[in-house]
């Protein structure tokens, strides 16, 4: 295969991912390994093959990691057989390479000794990327390929190869991670130590050993971490370690001298090292030497101590001055300290030229000057708060200015002395507090909240001003704290205050009655602030309560119909059954399903479907008592819960009444809609007593109502459960059979009555059961009611049949067309025709060798237009369409006109009594005549006697099928059957010869 064609099959991105995954395992061009060599030898031995290979495919070649039975080490990728294997989801078996068109020109097949047989399985990663193959080769062709046990063993060995690759990859990653960790620790300048959870030293990096002046790790390994440090700070260290052992990060400072006794202080950060379960398994300590920083802190602390001592001996008024000023009697500054000059911008050499007016901010100058004038006029010590301009940015800050008159011996004021302290932050805090109080009042009003204070001894209450507007309660002291509480909730209030006395705080929800008579929900929260003081807030939560109720309703009710949903219904069912068991009463459960709901949605739209659901809900609700429950469980499924005193027979009669009521038509947008339903009934104590089991009983009864024709009421019986469980068990077993490829086609020939030759085959499903042998659809046909399962069986049969056709074409067998039965489930699968055509194209089988058979059940399905479209697509691609079981339906002639049919098959029920029943003969004659008029082929099924065959020939039937000619056979017997049949045509038996002569 050329590289360009290979890339067509593997998109560029997918191939890039595959090659990247292959290189990540570092397996290419490595030395031979006994493990892989042994796997190749075992594979060859199990499969009785002389050659076993383990290979990996890169962009240019196929390289052999292990080669048993050959010296070959690699091949060009374009010549490799394994490039086809890695495209397969599973095992690829090529019975004869020389007959496979893909390898006819492959030069590797001409190398002596020549290989003929190949079986390989792709080696896929967990992400599904193929790295290479495990394969075996033989010099002889094998028509039967591999036995199941050999195929399973080959799959197991492939998994072992992949497990070994992943193991080597993981070991390499661990080793690289460990090397990286060691380099990281060695390059780190800090001291790094690892402790176990008992705080014993496990390891320390080299920088740490040097910082600690330790010679080797063995001398300190295993020592308690606390033994390195002085006792001071032990509590802080213990708390840090506790935090780390619980998954957090701890930090502390500790004194730990070096091994030689050098005193050192350390800043230690403790981090947990987690295991795979996310739990701490050890602790990582990173130590930073802060000895110099600690020494600087100590020096600073000593300096601060000396300063504090100096301040303590100063006069009290000089403890913390920020500015010192002296002024004359007129207010002109005579001296200021440096801070005052720097802040105000006054010129130091013009002391008497500036007064208070020059340092006040213009925005507040007049008010400040008035305060100062009044203060100086009293000729006593004073204290005022004024804004003083800051020269650097022309803003102002608030200062408290204190002044003291300095008098002479005569008591006359000579000058003023004072200090100015910056109180701007305090002033801002006071303003912020006032603003905060205003915002609090606004917030209380916006949040529908009232703040209050209560004295339990005097019973006096204070409330915020908004209490009257919110709750109609005056703010005066003589109003009772909760006088408007609803009488039913007053016990809650007493309990509320009792809990506050005991626990210090509590909250309560209750209703209050407004002066208008309306009810509001409130929540009060309070705590004890003193012996006779309780403070709290009361919040209006009416909207919250209404929202909670709406949320509860939304969570428990169907939004379309307003009925309880499945969740609420199950809780009510559980409670009803509990009460019934306690009181000895009964509970009935009716499961109701609309029969034609999808048709209404498809034809009239979802609006009409919604209208039907709402009308159904209204009618059901009108038929029950308040103690009963009607619920919508989902889609078009409803449930009705009927409690005592009604018994099972009453519920059955109620079901019949529901049928009649819902059948009454109603009008939607000028269209008349009619609803028909199927109902399943189950009851306690007649049936199960657990909610889930009773629901299952009713569902089983509903299923029976559907399967028996719909529009009826069916009461559950234990026999129904046994039938259902048998069906479920059958479905489960069939799923396993599909997985194990136990569903296989058998082929029954179709005989041309005019020539006696085999004109084709019909592929019939068989189940190769591991214990019961070969089973026909009569045993497992009920499983086809499961659409998903039927579709899976159809896909499996299709792939096997097309593979068989390819083999027969390679063997030049004249098998004609092969008919494949399609179930109704396959016609609802999107892209079904395209999938079949892709399968035919992939395996290189021309469509003209395939025929599909459909029954009237398919044609009468919910979407006949879609079915007709699919059948036309079959016809366009030269795949014939056969109408099976013709004559058993009531609209067969209509189908022949409406649908593109090539072939009609007369049902075996008419052929069985052909020799004895003139009516059957008349029907067959009419069908044959109809087929000839419409130029359709006619085949009669179920031919078991010579007389039946002879009459069909006389009536002009084209083809016949039945045990008279041959029973269905597996694919491997078809070549022999064709050979024997052709031989019999040359030397026919007497009876067959007579039939041929009649032809």
pLDDT mean over 854-868: 73
Indicate the average pLDDT of the chain.
Answer: 83
DSSP E strands, 635-757: 637-643, 666-668, 671-673, 677-684, 713-715, 743-752
pLDDT mean over 363-374: 86
Confidence of residue 596 (pLDDT cuts 50, 70, 90): confident
> Given a cut of 50, is residue 9 above it in pLDDT?
no
Confidence of residue 318 (pLDDT cuts 50, 70, 90): very low
Lowest mean pLDDT among 43-47, 307-311, 488-492: 307-311
* pLDDT confidence of residue 300: 63
Confidence of residue 306 (pLDDT cuts 50, 70, 90): very low
* pLDDT confidence of residue 180: 65
> Given a cut of 80, is residue 870 above it in pLDDT?
yes
Confidence of residue 182 (pLDDT cuts 50, 70, 90): low
* pLDDT confidence of residue 440: 58
φ and ψ at residue 251, rounded to 5 degrees: -150, 140
Confidence of residue 634 (pLDDT cuts 50, 70, 90): confident
Longest dimension (CA), the chain: 167
207 to each of 184, 192, 224, how far by Cα in Å?
Answer: 12, 8, 20
* pLDDT confidence of residue 307: 38
> Given a cut of 70, is residue 433 above it in pLDDT?
no
φ and ψ at residue 427, rounded to 5 degrees: -65, -40
> Given a cut of 90, is residue 880 above it in pLDDT?
yes
Q: Residue 528: which of 502, 505, 560, 559 has the closest Cα?
A: 505
CB atoms within 10 A of CB 677: 26
pLDDT mean over 53-73: 92
Instruction: List, as one string, the DSSP characters of 276-287.
Output: TTS-EEEEEEEE
Task: Find residue 817's DSSP bridge partners.
Answer: 760
* pLDDT confidence of residue 375: 86
3-state secondary structure of 887: coil
CB atoms within 10 A of CB 184: 11
**CA 950 to chain CA mean position, Å:** 65
Q: What are 926-969's pLDDT values in tens digits?
A: 889 888 888 899 999 999 999 999 999 999 999 999 999 999 99
Say if CB 55 and CB 65 are below 8 A apart.
yes
> Given a cut of 90, is residue 68 above it in pLDDT?
yes
pLDDT mean over 195-206: 87
Confidence of residue 892 (pLDDT cuts 50, 70, 90): low
* pLDDT confidence of residue 2: 40
First to last CA, the chain: 51
* pLDDT confidence of residue 945: 92
> Given a cut of 80, is residue 449 above it in pLDDT?
no
Tokens of 926: 């009419």
* pLDDT confidence of residue 495: 86
Confidence of residue 763 (pLDDT cuts 50, 70, 90): very high
Question: DSSP H helical segments within 447-482, as ranges?
Answer: 467-471
Q: What are 619-632's pLDDT values in tens digits?
A: 999 988 888 999 99
Tokens of 602: 């498809």
d(CA 463, CA 486): 20
Lowest mean pLDDT among 217-221, 330-334, 460-464, 817-821: 460-464
d(CA 856, CA 31): 65
Confidence of residue 437 (pLDDT cuts 50, 70, 90): low
Say if CB 68 and CB 38 are below 8 A apart.
no
* pLDDT confidence of residue 184: 62
pTM recorded for the entire structure: 0.42
Q: What are 404-432's pLDDT values in tens digits?
A: 898 887 888 888 888 888 888 777 777 77
pLDDT mean over 659-681: 86
Task: Find residue 462's DSSP bridge partners.
Answer: 453
> Given a cut of 70, is residue 893 above it in pLDDT?
no
Q: Residue 357: which of 337, 334, 331 has the closest Cα?
A: 331
* pLDDT confidence of residue 427: 78
d(CA 695, CA 639): 10
φ and ψ at residue 886, rounded to 5 degrees: -65, 140
307 Ramachandran zone, left/alpha/beta (phi>0; psi -120 to 50): alpha
* pLDDT confidence of residue 314: 36
d(CA 850, CA 840): 9
* pLDDT confidence of residue 965: 92
Confidence of residue 525 (pLDDT cuts 50, 70, 90): confident
User: What HEC string does 361-418 produce?
Assistant: CHHHHHHHHHHHHHHHHCCCCEEEEEEEEECCCCEEEEEEEEEEEEECCCCCEEEEEE
435 Cβ contact list (under 8 Å, min separation 6)? none
Question: DSSP H helical segments within 75-222, as ranges?
Answer: 82-85, 148-187, 206-212
d(CA 349, CA 329): 19
φ and ψ at residue 425, rounded to 5 degrees: -65, -40
Q: What are 468-515's pLDDT values in tens digits?
A: 656 666 555 455 557 778 888 888 888 888 888 888 888 888 888 887
Pick 351 or 323 by higher pLDDT.
Answer: 323
φ and ψ at residue 9, rounded to 5 degrees: -80, -25
Tokens of 936: 């359709």
* pLDDT confidence of residue 689: 85
Mode of pairing for the β-strands spanning 413-422 and 395-407? antiparallel
d(CA 717, CA 735): 28
Task: Find residue 639's DSSP bridge partners.
Answer: 591, 631
768 to each of 145, 741, 763, 776, how far by Cα in Å?
Answer: 18, 9, 15, 9
Percent of the chain with pLDDT over 90: 24
* pLDDT confidence of residue 131: 93
Tokens of 43: 């594979």
Say if CB 515 and CB 505 are below 8 A apart.
no
Confidence of residue 590 (pLDDT cuts 50, 70, 90): very high
Q: Residue 879: which of 854, 905, 846, 906 has the closest Cα?
A: 846
> Given a cut of 90, is residue 603 above it in pLDDT?
no
3-state secondary structure of 999: coil
Residue in the structure block whose two tokens are 């068991």: 581
Lowest mean pLDDT among 302-316, 537-551, 718-732, 919-933: 302-316
pLDDT mean over 540-555: 78
d(CA 136, CA 46): 10
């Amino acid at each position: 295969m050329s590289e360009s064609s290979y890339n067509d099959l593997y998109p560029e991105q997918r191939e890039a991912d595959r090659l990247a995954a292959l290189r990540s395992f570092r397996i290419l061009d490595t030395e031979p390994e006994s493990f892989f060599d042994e796997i190749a030898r075992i594979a060859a031995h199990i499969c009785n093959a002389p050659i076993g290979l383990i290979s990996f495919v890169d962009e240019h070649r196929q390289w052999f990691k292990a080669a048993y039975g050959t010296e070959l080490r690699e091949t060009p990728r374009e010549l490799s057989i394994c490039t086809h294997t890695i495209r397969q989801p599973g095992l690829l078996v090529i019975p004869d390479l020389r007959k496979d068109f893909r390898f006819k020109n492959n030069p590797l097949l001409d190398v002596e000794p020549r290989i003929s047989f190949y079986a390989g399985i792709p080696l896929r990663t967990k992400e599904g990327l193929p790295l290479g193959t495990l394969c075996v080769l033989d010099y002889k062709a094998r028509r039967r390929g591999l036995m199941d046990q050999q195929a399973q063993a080959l799959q197991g060995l492939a998994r072992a190869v992949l497990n070994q690759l992943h193991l080597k990859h993981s070991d390499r990653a661990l080793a690289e991670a460990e090397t990286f960790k060691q380099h990281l620790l060695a390059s780190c300048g800090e001291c790094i130590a690892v402790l176990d959870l008992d705080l014993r030293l496990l390891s320390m990096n080299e920088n740490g050993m040097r910082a600690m002046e330790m010679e080797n790790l063995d001398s300190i390994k295993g020592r308690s971490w606390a033994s390195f440090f002085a006792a001071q700070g032990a509590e802080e260290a213990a708390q840090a370690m506790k935090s780390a052992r619980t998954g957090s990060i701890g930090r502390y400072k500790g004194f730990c001298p070096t091994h030689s006794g050098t005193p050192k202080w350390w800043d230690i950060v403790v981090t947990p090292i987690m295991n795979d379960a996310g739990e701490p398994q050890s602790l990582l300590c990173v130590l930073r030497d802060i000895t110099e920083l600690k020494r600087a802190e100590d020096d600073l602390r000593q300096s601060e101590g000396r300063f504090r001592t100096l301040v303590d001996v100063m006069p009290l008024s000089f403890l913390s001055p920020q500015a010192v000023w002296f002024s004359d009697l007129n207010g002109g500054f005579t001296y200021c300290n440096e801070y005052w000059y720097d802040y105000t911008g006054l010129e130091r050499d013009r002391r008497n030229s500036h007064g208070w007016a020059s340092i006040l901010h213009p925005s507040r100058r007049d008010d400040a000057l008035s305060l100062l004038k009044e203060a100086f006029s009293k000729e006593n010590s004073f204290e005022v708060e004024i804004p003083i301009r800051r020269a650097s940015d022309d803003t102002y800050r608030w200062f408290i200015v204190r002044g003291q008159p300095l008098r002479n011996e005569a008591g006359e004021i000579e000058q003023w002395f004072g200090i100015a302290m910056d109180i701007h932050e305090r002033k801002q805090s006071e303003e912020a507090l006032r603003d905060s109080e205003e915002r609090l009042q606004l917030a209380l009003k916006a949040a529908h909240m009232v703040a209050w204070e209560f004295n339990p001894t005097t019973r006096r209450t204070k409330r915020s001003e908004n209490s009257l507007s919110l709750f109609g309660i005056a703010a005066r002291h003589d109003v009772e704290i909760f006088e408007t509480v609803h009488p039913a909730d007053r016990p809650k209030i007493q309990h509320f205050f009792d809990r506050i006395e005991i626990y210090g705080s509590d909250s309560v929800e209750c209703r209050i009655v407004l002066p208008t008579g309306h009810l509001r929900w409130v929540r009060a929260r309070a705590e004890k602030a003193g012996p006779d003081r309780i403070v709290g807030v009361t919040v209006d939560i009416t909207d919250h309560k209404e929202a909670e109720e709406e949320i509860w309703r939304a969570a428990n009710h169907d939004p379309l119909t307003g009925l309880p949903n499945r969740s609420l219904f199950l809780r009510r069912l559980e409670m009803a059954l509990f009460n019934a068991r306690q009181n000895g009463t009964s509970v009935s459960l009716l499961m109701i399903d609309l029969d034609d709901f999808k048709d209404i949605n498809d034809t009239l739209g979802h609006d009409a479907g919604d209208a039907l659901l709402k009308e159904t809900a209204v009618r059901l609700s009108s038929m029950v008592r308040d103690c009963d429950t009607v619920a919508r469980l989902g889609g078009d499924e409803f449930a009705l819960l009927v409690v005592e005193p009604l018994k099972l027979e009453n519920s059955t009669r109620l079901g019949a009444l529901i049928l009649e009521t819902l059948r009454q038509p109603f009008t939607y947008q000028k269209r008349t809609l009619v609803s028909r339903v199927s109902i399943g009934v189950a009851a306690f104590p007649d049936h199960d007593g657990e909610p889930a089991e009773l629901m299952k009983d009713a569902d089983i009864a509903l299923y029976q109502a559907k399967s028996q024709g719909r529009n009826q009421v069916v009461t559950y019986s234990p026999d129904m459960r046994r039938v259902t469980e048998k069906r479920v068990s059958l479905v489960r077993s069939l799923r396993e059979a599909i997985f194990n490829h136990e569903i296989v086609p058998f082929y029954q020939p179709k005989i041309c009555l005019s020539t006696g030759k085999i004109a084709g085959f019909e592929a019939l499903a068989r189940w190769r059961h591991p214990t019961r042998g070969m089973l026909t659809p009569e045993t497992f046909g009920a499983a086809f009611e499961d659409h998903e399962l039927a579709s899976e069986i159809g896909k499996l049969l299709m792939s096997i049949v097309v593979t068989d056709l390819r083999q027969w074409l390679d063997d030049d067998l004249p098998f004609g067309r092969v008919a494949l039965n399609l179930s109704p489930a396959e016609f609802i699968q999107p892209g079904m025709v395209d999938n079949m055509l892709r399968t035919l194209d992939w395996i290189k089988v021309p469509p003209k060798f395939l025929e599909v058979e459909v029954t009237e059940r398919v044609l009468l399905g919910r979407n006949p237009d879609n079915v007709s479209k699919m059948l036309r697509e079959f016809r366009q691609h030269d795949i014939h369409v056969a109408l099976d079981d013709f004559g058993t339906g009531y609209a067969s002639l209509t189908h022949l006109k409406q649908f593109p049919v090539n072939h009609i098959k007369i049902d075996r029920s008419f052929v069985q009594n052909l020799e004895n029943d003139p009516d059957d003969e008349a029907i067959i004659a009419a069908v044959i005549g109809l087929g000839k008029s419409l130029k359709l082929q006619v085949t009669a099924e179920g031919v078991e006697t010579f007389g039946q065959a002879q009459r069909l020939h006389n009536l002009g039937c084209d083809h016949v099928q039945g045990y008279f000619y041959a029973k269905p056979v597996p694919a491997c017997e078809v070549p022999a059957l064709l050979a024997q049949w052709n031989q019999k045509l040359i030397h026919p038996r007497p009876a067959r010869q007579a039939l041929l002569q009649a032809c």
